[in-house]
Amino acid sequence: MISDQPANSKYIPIVCLLFLAWFVYLSTLSPTVFYRDAPEFANTAFSLGISHPAGFPIYNLMAKAVTFFPMGAIPFKVNLFSSLMACLALLALYMTSITFLRVLAGSEENSDSAFLWPSLLPIGFMAFCIPFWGNTMLAEVYTLHTLFTVLVILALLKWKEKEDIRYLYCAALMYGLSAGNHGTVAFYLPGIFVLFFFWCRYKWWRHLSVCVLFFLLGFSVYLYLPIRSLTEPTFDWGNPETLQGFLFQITDQKDSHTHFEILNQATASSAAITGTGEPAVGWTVGLFTKIKHIGSVFIMDIYQNLSLVSAVGFLGGAVICFRKSLPFFLFCAVMTGINIVFFTSWRGEAFLPSYIIVSLFTALFLYQVLFVRWWKPRSQVSAGEPLEKIILHKPGPLGIRWGRVIMVLIALAIPWTMIHKNYLRVDHSWNHLSETLTRQVYLTLPDRAVFVSGLSWFFYNYNQDVRRLRDDVTAVTVWDLISPHRTGLLTAKRYPNLVLPDEKKQDFKSLVGISDYAQEFIEKNAVFTPVVLEHISIMYQQTKFTSHWQPYRNVLLQYDSPDSTLPVNEYSHQRSWEEFKRLLESELSRPNSGRDMDWLNNPKVWIYSMRDYFHDTGRYELEREVLTMIGTFLGQSGSPQWAFQYLDNLIADRRLGQAENLLEGMKKRFPENNLTRLGEGLLHRAHGRFQAALEAFRQADRLQPRSFRVQLEIAKTLRDLKMEPSAHAAFLKTQSHVSNVRQLMLVTQELNRNK
C-alpha cells in the first residue's frame, strides 16, 4: 500500500455528505402529493397502475415497497422513495468517480486518498442543484433514473479496471432494468457500443450475445405492463394489454413529435444566410449553428445549476479524458451529446445524465490541477522520493497551501449554494395546497356521475384510488375521448357500467370522426346518469357541441342532452363563476399560497378555458370578467394576446367606442404586431369599412401568414365586398390552415352561407 490510511476511510467524507443531504432532503420533502406527474406516480406506485409512456414499471414496483412503511401518508412515503434513491445515486456516483480516476490515472499515481476530494466536491454541487434536489422531495422517476445511469457507468468502468467480463454483464443487466424506469436510456446505446468494441478485445460476438441476454432479462420488467393491464387498474394509460397499446407505451408515441425538436427546426433560413441558395449548404450551416447554440445553452446551464467550477471542470476534464482515454471520452461525448440535443428545450432534470458526466470530468480536472505535478517531468523527480509525497504533500503546481485553500473555497461554495441560492426554491415541507383545490371541486360532483376530467385528472384518480373519496363516480379523461391514437382506451371490460360507441364504426383519422365519437359517448351515457365536464379548452376546440354544456358548479359543466330524462342543474353561468371565484379566494387565503407558482397550473387552465367557453357561447360580459382576472391575477394585461382578446370581445358585443380606445392603446404598445392589425381589421369591418378592413387583414397576414383567424377574416371580408370568386378561393385556402374541429366548423358555416 502506498498509504497507511485505512481502506474504508475514503468513505467517511461521502458518508458525511450523505447524512447532510439526507437531512436536507427530509427537511424539504413535500408532505403530500405535488404537482405535474407527482399525483400520477403516487397513485400508480400505491395501486400498481400503468403510468404514462413509457410505463415506468421498475419505478412503480420499487416505489410500491415503501408504501408498506408504517409511517406517514402514501404520498409522503412515495416522495420519501425519491430522496432515498437520490442518496444511493450520490453514493454510487462517488464510487464511480473514484473508479474513473483510478482507471485513467491509477496506473501512474495509485492513491485513493488523492482521488477523494476531487471526487467528492463535484458531487456536492450536484446533490444540491435545483434539477436534482428538486426531484428528491416529490414522487418522480429522475432520482432513480440517475441511480441506474450511474450504476451502468460504474459497472463499465469496473469491467475496464478489473478486466473481469462479469462487470460487463452486470452493466447489461442494469441497462435493461434502467430501461424499465426511463426510456431515454436508449440514447446511451451508441456510446456503450463504442466502449464495447474498443475494450472487448476477444470473442466479442460471444460476449455481445451474453450481454443481449442479460439486457433482455432486465428489460423483461416491461412484462408488468400487459400483465397488470389485464386486471384493469384505474390508472391504465394506453391499455398495454394489447400489442398496439404496448408498443404505444414503450416507444413513447405520446411525445414523439417533440423528439429532437430543436434540430428539426433547422434551417430554412440558413440558405439565405449563406447567400448560396443551396439547401444542402444552408442545412449544414444551420446544423452547425444549432450545435453551437445547444453547446452554449448546456454550458450556461451547468454554470447556473451546478457551479462555475463545474463548467470549467467539464471543459477541462473533457480535454484530459480525450488525451488519457479516447474510448471513454467518446462514450461520454455521445451520451452527453444525444442527451442535451434531445432535451435542450426541456432542460432541468432531463439533463441529469449529462450532469453525471460533468461530475466525472470535473473530478478529473480537479485531480489533475490540484494533485498531479503535471508540469514536472518524471526525469526530474528524485529517485528515492516516495510517490505518495509527490502526489499528496505537494498537490499540483500550486503547492500544498494554495491547493488546500482552493479545495476549501470550493467546498464552502456548496453550502452557500444550498442555503443562500436554492433552499427556499426547493423547500416544500410546508406545502399542503397541491390537492386541496382539486379535492373541493371533486367533492361537488353529482352522485353516480360520469366525470370527464381535464388537466387535473391525475389528482382525481389519486383521490379515487388512494383517498377513496368518490367511489360512486366513474372518471374518464378528455384524452380518452378525443385521442386519435385508439389503443383500447375505453373498453367494456374496464368500464362495464358505461355505454360505449362501436369503435369499428368510427373514423378516427379525421377531426370530425373523433368529435362524433366523443359526442356519441357523452349523449348515450347522459341519458342514464349525469355527465360532467371539467373546464378545458381542448374539449371545446376538438368537438362540435360546446353549446350543450351547461353550468353545474364552479369549474364543472353538465351535458344537456335533448334526449335526456335527467334534470339539469339550475346553476346559472354567473352563479358558477362566482362560486369558482370564492373557491379560488379561499385557497389563496391559505398560508404560503403565494410562494408556489406551480399551484397556478390548474386554475390557469380553468380560467383560460372559461374565457373560451363564454366567448363561444356569447356570454361576453362574463368573458370580460374572466379577461380581467387573466390580466390582473395572471399578470397578462401587458401581452398583445390579452389585449386582442379583450378587443375581440368588445367588438363582438358591439361596444365599438371602448374598442376604439383599446385599439389606440394597442397601436402605441404593439405597432407591428399581427394581432394589432387583425384587431384593426375587425373594427373597420364592424363599422362597415370593408376595404380598409381587408388592407389591415392583409397586413396581419404578412406578419403572420399561417394564422387561421387572419385567413378566415380575409375570406369573410372579400365576401362582404361581393368578390365571390376570390372569397370562395380564400375560404378554401383557410381550410388548409385548420387545426381543430372548432376551426373546421367556422369555415364550414361560412362556406354554407355562400350556397
Q: What pLDDT is recorded for position 272?
A: 36
Is the pLDDT at 451 greater than 90? The verdict is yes
Report the candidate in 381, 742, 383 with the shortest Cα–Cα distance to residue 538.
742
Residues 349-366 as b or e (16 or more Cβ within 10 Å = b): bbbbbbbbbbbbbbbbbb
Q: What is the pLDDT of residues 162-175, one digit of tens each?
A: 999 999 999 999 99
Q: What pLDDT is recorded for position 242?
A: 86
Is the pLDDT at 374 greater than 90? The verdict is no
Instruction: Give Cα separations from 660 to 563, 619, 646, 673, 680 (angstroms).
Output: 45, 21, 12, 17, 9
For the record, the C-alpha cell of 385 comes out as: 522520493
CA distance 201 to 573: 75
Q: What pLDDT is recorded for position 431?
A: 83
Q: What is the pLDDT of residues 239-271, one digit of tens each?
A: 898 888 888 888 876 665 555 454 454 444 343
Out of 103-107, 292-296, 386-390, 745-749, pick the least confident.
386-390
Higher-confidence residue of 485 and 616: namely: 616
Q: How many CA atoms lie within 13 A of 96 on its CB side?
A: 27
Instruction: Give Cα separations from 153 to 82, 116, 150, 457, 521 (angstroms).
Output: 21, 19, 5, 37, 50
DSSP character at residue 236: B
Q: What pLDDT is recorded for position 377?
A: 46
Q: What pLDDT is recorded for position 51?
A: 92
Q: Identify residue 512 by its one-letter amino acid code.
A: V
The sign of the torsion formed by the CA atoms of 663, 668, 671, 673 equals negative
CA distance 537 to 615: 11
Where residue 596 falls among pLDDT bands split at 50, 70, 90? confident
For the record, the C-alpha cell of 563 comes out as: 334526449
Q: What pLDDT is recorded for position 196?
A: 93
Q: Identify residue 744 by its one-letter amino acid code.
A: L
Q: What is the pLDDT of residues 494-520, one digit of tens each?
A: 899 999 998 888 888 888 899 999 999
CA distance 559 to 344: 42
Where residue 397 falls among pLDDT bands split at 50, 70, 90? low
Q: What is the pLDDT of residues 2-16, one digit of tens each?
A: 344 455 566 788 888
Q: What pLDDT is recorded for position 99?
A: 94
Residue 452 phi, psi dihedral angles, 5° rounding = -95, 105
Residue located via cell numbers 378554401: 732
Residues 385-389 have a mean pLDDT of 43
Is the pLDDT at 612 greater than 80? The verdict is yes
Where residue 112 falls among pLDDT bands split at 50, 70, 90? low
Task: Return the axis-axis angle of helices 601-616 and 436-443, rounded to nearest 10°.
Answer: 50
Task: Say whether 552 sits in a helix, a strand or coil.
Answer: strand
If 0-12 CB within 10 Å is exposed, 13-18 middle and 19+ buried, where does residue 269 land?
exposed
Residues 458-481 have a mean pLDDT of 90
DSSP character at residue 254: G
Q: What pLDDT is recorded for position 755?
A: 57
Question: Considering the chain, what is the average pLDDT of its residues?
Answer: 86
Q: What pLDDT is recorded for position 584?
A: 92
Domain boundaries, the chain: 12-258+306-377+385-424, 436-574
CA angle 314, 99, 120 (to 5 degrees): 55
CA distance 297 to 291: 10
> Is the bond into 659 cis (omega within 30 degrees of 0)?
no
Q: What pLDDT is recorded for position 396?
A: 53
Report the candidate in 522, 523, 521 with the shortest Cα–Cα distance to residue 505.
521
Where residue 116 falls among pLDDT bands split at 50, 70, 90? confident
Percentage of the chain beyond pLDDT 90 is: 58
Phi-psi group of 50: left, alpha or beta (phi > 0 → left; psi -120 to 50 → alpha; rest → beta)? beta
Beta carbons of 567 and 527 less than 8 angstroms apart = no
Beta strands 556-559; 531-534: pairing state: antiparallel
Where residue 280 falls among pLDDT bands split at 50, 70, 90? low
Q: What pLDDT is recorded for position 403?
A: 67
Out of 283-287, 387-391, 527-531, pick the least confident.
387-391
Beta strands 474-477; 450-453: pairing state: parallel
Residue located via cell numbers 434551417: 267
CA distance 319 to 329: 9
Is the pLDDT at 133 greater than 60? The verdict is yes
Q: What pLDDT is recorded for position 404?
A: 73
Is the pLDDT at 569 greater than 50? The verdict is yes
What Rg do the C-alpha atoms of the chain give, in angstroms?
Answer: 30
CA distance 672 to 668: 10
CA distance 501 to 370: 71
Q: What pLDDT is recorded for position 122?
A: 95
Q: What pLDDT is recorded for position 554?
A: 93
Percentage of the chain beyond pLDDT 70 is: 87
Neighbours of 669 (CB within 10 A): 13
Task: Say whether 750 sits in a helix, a strand or coil.
Answer: helix
Is the pLDDT at 230 greater than 70? The verdict is yes
CA distance 321 to 364: 8
Q: What pLDDT is recorded for position 407?
A: 82
Is the pLDDT at 358 greater than 60? The verdict is yes
Q: What pLDDT is recorded for position 715?
A: 93
For the record, the C-alpha cell of 409 comes out as: 473555497
CA distance 63 to 82: 8
Is the pLDDT at 426 greater than 70? The verdict is yes
Q: Identify residue 49 by its one-letter amino acid code.
A: G
Q: What is the pLDDT of residues 574-583, one digit of tens each?
A: 999 999 999 9
Out of 171-180, 449-458, 746-755, pick the least confident.
746-755
Beta carbons of 151 and 137 less than 8 angstroms apart = no
Is the pLDDT at 72 greater than 90? The verdict is no
CA–chain centroid gap for 174, Å, is 24
Residues 484-490 have a mean pLDDT of 77
CA distance 576 to 572: 6
CA distance 279 to 286: 10
Residue 536 phi, psi dihedral angles, 5° rounding = -160, 130
Q: What pLDDT is recorded for position 268?
A: 40
Write the secondary structure of 53-119 as one string of H (helix), E (strand) and C (coil). Answer: CCCCHHHHHHHHHHCCCCCCCHHHHHHHHHHHHHHHHHHHHHHHHHHHHHHHHCCCCCCHHHHHHHH
Q: What pLDDT is recorded for position 456?
A: 87
